[in-house]
Amino acid sequence: MLTQKIEDQIRESGIIAVIAIEDAADAVPMAQALQRGGITAIELTLRTPAALDAIRAIREGVPDILLGAGTILTTEQVDAALAAGAQFGVAPGLNSRIIEYADKVGLPFAPGVMTPSDIERALELGCKTMKLFPSESIGGMKTLSTMAAPYKHLGIGFIPLGGLNEGNMASYLSSPLVAAIGGSWLAKTDRISAKDWDGIEATAAAAVKIAAEAKA
Ligand SMILES: O=C[C@H](O)COP(=O)(O)O
Ligand SMILES: CC(=O)C(=O)O
């Protein structure tokens, strides 16, 4: 489960940039570009061999950005993410072994859900903040509103991810059910590899502007 502090920081950020990175040397300039654009939270996915080194580099070089590890699929990855300095962890799905292990070793963690049964399992395991994945494919905010209605009184929050972009993010952020949204469009892997820092900064700034308007 997430700690209250991390949950608050995620809510405050509103947007989590989801990153898959090929070269750890690009991690700090990428995080700085996002930060210049106003992004305050990153999820670095453990999908590439460079991911753990990238987490270490960002924690050292850009310590004031909230940094999570994504695509945590094994308990070994929980340990590795924590050792690299990740402040929280997430996954596309719900694995009770990983939730319990993350709690045991002290990694604030949010599992992924996409059905009412998943939500109930997450609640049973103490997780009130959950990823919603793959959000747009399952009907986006319309599906989330209907699906979350029976659990709203329990104070749950979602981080929708999967298919989000500048065009649909406002529909999510105007809902109190949504703690923050996540997306890879903010810093695509090929743009990072091309070192398009100005482009990443501009995309981040555009998203931050939309988020501010949606929450106003
Ligand atoms: O697998 C999930 C992606 O990393 C995040 O979704 P997205 O690429 O649609 O933003
Ligand atoms: C999709 C997602 O939430 C993850 O890879 O962690």
| Mean pLDDT, range 105-109, rounded to an integer | 98
Q: Which ligand is the nearest neighbour of the Cα of 111?
A: 2
Question: Could you tell me if the CB of 44 is within 6 A of ligand 2?
Answer: no
pLDDT category at 21 given cuts 50, 70, 90 is very high
Q: What is the pLDDT of residue 147?
A: 98
List, for residues 65-75, the tens digit of each pLDDT value: 999 999 999 99
Cβ neighbours for 117, distance < 8 A, ≥ 6 positions apart: none
The mean pLDDT of 165-190, rounded to a whole number, is 97
Q: In this predicted structure, what is the pLDDT of residue 216?
A: 77
Question: Mind giving me the DSSP string for 136-189?
Answer: GGGTHHHHHHHHHGGGGGGT-EEEEBSS--TTTHHHHHTSTTBS-EEESGGG-H
Range 4-110+165-215 has CATH code 3.20.20.70: yes
Q: Which ligand is nearest to the CA of 69?
A: 2
pLDDT at 2: 95
The number of the ligand 1 atom at minimal distance from the alpha carbon of 184 is 10
* CA 163 and chain centroid, separation: 13
Average pLDDT over residues 169-193: 97
Q: How far apart are CA 121 and CA 110, in angstroms?
A: 12
Which residue has its alpha carbon closest to ligand 2 atom 2? 92
Q: What is the mean pLDDT of residues 23-48?
A: 98
CB 69 within 8 A of CB 51: yes
43 is known as an active-site residue: yes
Mean pLDDT of the chain: 97
What are 157's strand-pairing partners?
Answer: 129
- Over residues 47-70, the pLDDT tens digits come to 999 999 999 999 999 999 999 999
Q: How confident is the model at residue 172 (pLDDT cuts 50, 70, 90)?
A: very high
Which residues sit with their C-beta closer than 6 Å to ligand 1?
A: 18, 161-164, 183-185
pLDDT confidence band for 215 (50 / 70 / 90): confident
Q: Which of 7, 12, 22, 43 is catalytic?
A: 43
Q: Is 5 a catalytic residue?
A: no
